[in-house]
Amino acid sequence: MVELPPSAALLSRLSPEPVLGVSMAHVSLLRLDRTGGLAPGNKSFKLQGNIAAAQRDGISKLVSFGGTWSNHLHALAAAAHEQGMESVGLVRGGEQDTAMLADARAWGMQVELLSRSDYRRRNDPEYLRRVAERYAPCLLIPEGGANPEGVVGCAGIADMVRQHAPEITRVVLAVGTGTTLAGLAAGLGSATATGIVGISALRGAQDLEQRIQRALVNCGGGDHASWQILHDHHCGGFARTTPALKEFILAFESVQGIALDPVYTGKMLYAVHQLCASGQWDSSPLLALHTGGLQGRRGFAW
Ligand SMILES: *Cc1c(COP(=O)(O)O)cnc(C)c1O
């Protein structure tokens, strides 16, 4: 199970003090950034399903892919350390001395740097067969924890939404692979009055809807909450930032006293802020998921 703090700590109602002139008083945050031990956030939910599968099969080594600031590899190293398992991180070339990689190594992750061309093959079955052979016996987890076990693990987030915000009609979260959204939608089921809005952190990820639909089918089918993706709030692309995004994040943090990461949660709440400011969204209560990712904030010298 993902470790949970006392219930009261999991929901933060935002302060009525405006952020850059816009009230966010109708927004509550579900604080996944306070769950999951050493590496808080949604990644520990995705890994939970994978670790359970590995343990069932008597496998004690987890192998996966990510960049040098990957929240996923950070959480994988932490979870393996906490569970007494081994971990291998296959890392895309780039800046080598990040705080993320330092943590991962300190937690015992074997860090292997891949060339850009090898990294590009991270979803190629023939390449994956060779990787699995090289580290056997192991469980090979796709980049971002994007597999059916990851979807199943994220259904736990739906339990939290039901418990902490049973009346809510709109839940908003940042989307990368869509695994978390799929798990949440499946976990909430079709009987709910809650609709889900995903804010894509990637530019031009037009196949995202299809991938989420496939993930939902793979995990058992049609019974899921309604959901949609907004594609226009990526601020220039994955892990890119704009001066306006930075201004919003710094203002939000100083008014609300809650840290955001610029890659996911910052863009998601900036989207909420813009949709409320423009009147496209009214001020009915909404629940935004703080999915963590704060380790990555260390990569931004703000
Ligand atoms: C990975 C991540 C997401 C996106 O999760 P997906 O399941 O890939 O859509 C959102 N927020 C944070 C902080 C993340 O690290």
Ligand 1 center to residue 256 CA distance, Å? 22
CA 246 to chain CA centroid, Å, is: 20
Task: With beta carbons less than 8 A apart as the criterion, state whether 138 and 112 touch.
Answer: no
Task: With beta carbons less than 8 A apart as the criterion, state whether 143 and 119 touch.
Answer: no
**Is the CB of 264 inside a 6 Å radius of any atom of ligand 1?**
yes
CA distance 158 to 147: 18
CA 195 to chain CA centroid, Å, is: 18
At 166 the pLDDT is: 93
**Is the CB of 183 inside a 6 Å radius of any atom of ligand 1?**
no
Ligand 1 center to residue 41 CA distance, Å? 8
pTM (2 d.p.): 0.96
Spell out the domains of the chain, with CATH numbers in brackets. 7-40+151-299 (3.40.50.1100), 42-148 (3.40.50.1100)
The encoded tokens of residue 71 equal 């929240």
211-236: burial string, b at 16+ Cβ within 10 Å, e else: ebeebbeebeeeebbebebebebbbe
* Mutational test site, ligand 1, from 44, 65, 264, max ligand atoms within 8 Å of CB: 264
Ligand 1 center to residue 119 CA distance, Å? 20
| Positions in the chain short of pLDDT 70 | 1
CA distance 146 to 158: 18
**Is the CB of 270 inside a 6 Å radius of any atom of ligand 1?**
no
- Cα 189 to Cα 216, 223, 234, 245, distances in angstroms: 11, 5, 28, 33
| Residue 150 alpha carbon, nearest atom of ligand 1 | 7
Which is nearest to 157 in space by CA: 276, 19, 10, 21?
Answer: 10
CA distance 27 to 283: 8
Calculated CA dihedral for residues 161, 155, 208, 261, nearest 10 degrees = 60
At 1 the pLDDT is: 61
